[in-house]
Amino acid sequence: MLHFADSLTFSGRKVVAAWAALPFPASPGSSLPDALSAHQQDLPWKLLSSWREQKVSCCFAQSVVLRGICQEKATSCPGQPRFPLPSCESPEQVLQQFFHSQFPGAFSMCHLLQQPCDTRPPFPQFFSPLLTRQGFLLDKAQGFSSAGVESSPVLAALQSSPVLHSLLSALCRQLRAPLVRRWSSFFTAGVEQDDFQEALEELKTLSQCYETGCGADGSEEEADSD
């Protein structure tokens, strides 16, 4: 995982954020173009890192995997705009072009897998009753329990993006708070005060590597409490 994250980081960046949509919201029988067309304005994934939800409009690099969506081309539902794919010859190119349109200029690696994610027990059964046994989204609840979901389409990604500026900056501010100085056990465990301050400065520098004018709110000010 460390080497994989390194392939997505450059210009002093070392951290990537994890995103996922489980299940990836798609109707039964949806083709890949149709499933992507439904989310051109707002990607359905959620940030898995312990930070408040943010929308990302740009990123530096990303690796995306979508699995469990039918790759064959199909006719769109009436009134539903198709994702324009005149030059795409393979499903992988469809996915690549979609994320290129979502994040122009970003380095993107896209992978498409036919097999869905297995969600049979002991996988946690937290699914909505609006899902079929194959994890596809229905207009109304079905007759059987959501515990009957046996598989699910999934979208997952590792992304180097401006979201990490806010996340790392907040972590740095929390560690600089006066409360930390009262954690005597933290320093008696072998951490030197000078080493701790040096690590904080490195964390602050790292957060600045993700600062940019686009995407998430990178405008939060860092309040040094030294």
Cis peptide before 122 (omega within 30 of 0): yes
Strands 151-152 and 117-118, bridge-based pairing? antiparallel
Sequence-ordered list of residues with C-beta below 8 angstroms from that of 226, at least 6 positions apart, any chain: 176, 197
Give residue 183's identity as a one-letter amino acid code.
Answer: W
User: What does the mean pLDDT of the chain come to?
Assistant: 79
Measured CA to CA, the distance from residue 69 to residue 154 in angstroms comes to 8
* Residue that the structure tokens 């560690």 belong to: 175
The per-residue pLDDT for 222 is 41
Report pLDDT digits (tens) over 81-124: 455 544 566 888 888 889 988 888 888 899 999 999 999 989 98
Q: Average of pLDDT values for 186-207? A: 83
The per-residue pLDDT for 220 is 44
The per-residue pLDDT for 225 is 38
The per-residue pLDDT for 181 is 60
Sequence-ordered list of residues with C-beta below 8 angstroms from that of 117, at least 6 positions apart, any chain: 22, 67, 68, 135, 151, 152, 153, 154
Domain map of the chain by residue range? 1-160, 165-209
Report pLDDT digits (tens) over 37-62: 888 878 889 888 776 656 777 889 99
* Cα 184 off chain centre by: 37
pLDDT value at 78 more than 50: no
Whether residue 129 contacts residue 146, with contact meaning beta carbons closer than 8 Å, is answered with yes
pTM of the model: 0.76
